[in-house]
Structure 1
């Protein structure tokens, strides 16, 4: 059984960019290629066109990069 996630805790690429202080949603794709430890989306549909990340994963990753 897959873990349950609150819908309010899911972020699209634009929201991920906002949380991380990136300039645009396109920067999320760049970060995914550049950083092997960047969090994977918890939901990916339509050949990667719809991707959602867990807020906690994105926040934790962002904090780990600030050290």
Structure 2
């Protein structure tokens, strides 16, 4: 089970990483193969959610 409070969308990731646009998150996914992948992916053009703790840990070590 995933707690809804533990997941974030691309907007929150952009904020954590200091990116100006949330669509840059997909570029980061291609550029950095070690970046955490979404735990929920509803398909192309639809909602993707990541675990906040994984993104924060990755951000600290990149």
Mark the runs of 5 or more structure 2 residues left unpaired by the alignment. Answer: none
Of 37, 57, 63, the match for 2:34:
37
Count of residue pairs the alignment pairs up: 62
2:42 matched to 1:49? no
Mark the runs of 5 or more structure 1 residues left unpaired by the alignment. Answer: none
Shift of residue 49, structure 1, vs aligned partner: 2.1
Report the TM-score, using the length of structure 1 for normalisation: 0.84
Report the TM-score, using the length of structure 2 for normalisation: 0.90
Runs of 4+ with deviation above 4 angstroms:
none
Distance 1:63 1:51 in 2: 22
Distance 1:47 1:35 in 2: 20
Distance 1:46 1:40 in 2: 13
Shift of residue 48, structure 1, vs aligned partner: 5.5
Q: CA RMSD in A?
A: 1.1
Of 60, 63, 67, the match for 2:60:
63
Shift of residue 47, structure 1, vs aligned partner: 3.1
